[in-house]
Structure 1
């Protein structure tokens, strides 16, 4: 099993020195990956489930922040959890992601995309909230087409995105295209992961039965699409005090990666917390 760590500016702050310390300590202690979330804008009444999001809650642009982290680290993979895909144009996004991948030496490999649950964010960028699932499907297809296309260019004619003979360079480093994981806590997200994703990263407070159902839905959707369901990575959230026994239980459910949140960003306390986790799972032995 692989282990990633999330940096949430809302909890840990937007001091760039703190972000770099967090990333460097995660890399030093053997974590595979660093994730950042995205909220483009906030507005009065914004909430995730029962949790309100005060309008002054700080969120980095995750791709800019990951580029900053990449310049100060050497090995740790870069991820988003989640990038709000319907609110990004795939032509611009293909360039940004490939650029980060090249500059980081091929580490922009854990892009996780989602639809977003705040109608106010959709309205802010002039996107019909009800269309965001279809927009995300098109964007995934367009991203891959642009990354895989040659110098003669590629065409795309969709409901939301259209272009002709576009070539997008640089390409992802030594890869046909960047992996795209699908986040979400719905059955529609699970099916999207199976049809189009390289992995599934469900969130939410789901029951064990619902989680198992969603994973099977993702695998079945992959089979129906002519894809290998066994190649679908399965990422889950976990606690920084995750036990070995719990990790083994998650692995038995098919989980291939666990992403945790540190409880502190204070350097010495963070070093102790990450060190204890790394020792427990043999990440730095």
Structure 2
């Protein structure tokens, strides 16, 4: 089992020094990487399930923020949890992501994409909410194609170009995980992703059903289902027995966040977790 940390700017703070302290401390504790979330635009009444998102919630751009974190760390892997892929054009996005990977020494290993769940956010980005799944599928194909360097061409429903070269290339094959809490997300992970980052408040049976669907989709696509990583959220105070149970379900990585808004308590919580599971 691998362990990473999540940072929520709206809760943990927007102070650049606090973000860097959190990341550096996670690295010192032995965590594998750090994940940053994304929302490109919010609006009054935006809801994720039963949770309402205040429209003034401050979300950093995760790619830019990860470049900032990369400059202040040396080992910590960089991840998004999740980057809302349909709201980005894949051609400039391929350049941005490859740039972060190159400048960080190849540490953009935990890139996770999703399709978004807020219709108003899609409208603000100029995207038809009903097409976001197809758009994400196509964007994934475009990213992987561009990262070969080129010249490459593409002719799809949403994106088209001829004889394009995209440099720099990532330092190595850049993994792309798929996040979400639906069967569609699980199947997308199996067909096109390097891993599935399951979210949402779901029953254990639904969790098992989704991971089975991801593996089945991988088989149908001619891919190795055993190569599919399985990431889940965890709590910073979770006991070893819970981790063992999750590992038995096929989980390969847990992402935990400090539950305190106080920087000193955040450090203590991450340190205690690291000691409990022998990180570092």
Quote the Cα distance in structure 2 between the aligned partners of 1:125 and 1:48: 18
Q: CA deviation at 1:272?
A: 1.4
Quote the Cα distance in structure 1 between the aligned partners of 2:38 and 2:250: 27
1:172 to 154, 170, 173: 170
- The aligned counterpart of 1:118 is 118
Quote the Cα distance in structure 1 between the aligned partners of 2:31 and 2:115: 27
Secondary structure of 1:140 counterpart: helix
- The aligned counterpart of 2:195 is 199
Q: Is 2:93 the counterpart of 1:93?
A: yes
Quote the Cα distance in structure 1 between the aligned partners of 2:185 and 2:252: 18
Query: TM-score with structure 2 length normalisation?
Result: 0.98
- The aligned counterpart of 2:51 is 51
Is contact 1:22-1:265 (8 Å) kept? no
Instruction: Write out aligned runs for 1:1-285 (5 A).
Output: 1-150=1-150, 153-173=151-171, 175=172, 177-284=173-280
Is contact 1:122-1:129 (8 Å) kept? yes
How much is the aligned-residue C-alpha RMSD, in angstroms? 0.8
Residues 38-87 of structure 1: CA distance to partner in whole angstroms, max 9, x if unpaired? Answer: 00011011111111111111100000100000000000000000000000
Q: CA deviation at 1:263?
A: 1.2
Secondary structure of 1:182 counterpart: strand
Residue 144 to residue 91, structure 1, CA distance change in 2 (3 Å)? same
Runs of 4+ in 1 over 6 A off after TM superposition: none
Q: CA deviation at 1:11?
A: 0.7
Secondary structure of 1:165 counterpart: strand
Is contact 2:149-2:168 (8 Å) kept? no
Quote the Cα distance in structure 2 between the aligned partners of 1:222 and 1:204: 22
Could you tell me which runs of 5 or more consecutive residues in structure 1 were left unpaired when the two chains were aligned: none
Q: CA deviation at 1:266?
A: 3.1
Quote the Cα distance in structure 2 between the aligned partners of 1:265 and 1:281: 23
Secondary structure of 1:239 counterpart: coil
Query: TM-score with structure 1 length normalisation?
Result: 0.97
Quote the Cα distance in structure 1 between the aligned partners of 2:14 and 2:115: 24
Quote the Cα distance in structure 1 between the aligned partners of 2:13 and 2:273: 22
Residues 152-178 of structure 1: CA distance to partner in whole angstroms, max 9, x if unpaired? Answer: x100000000011001000111x1x31
Could you tell me which runs of 5 or more consecutive residues in structure 2 were left unpaired when the two chains were aligned: none
Is contact 2:81-2:112 (8 Å) kept? yes
Residues 206-226 of structure 1: CA distance to partner in whole angstroms, max 9, x if unpaired? Answer: 111111111111101000100
Quote the Cα distance in structure 1 between the aligned partners of 2:194 and 2:251: 14
Is contact 2:178-2:189 (8 Å) kept? yes
Is contact 2:197-2:230 (8 Å) kept? yes
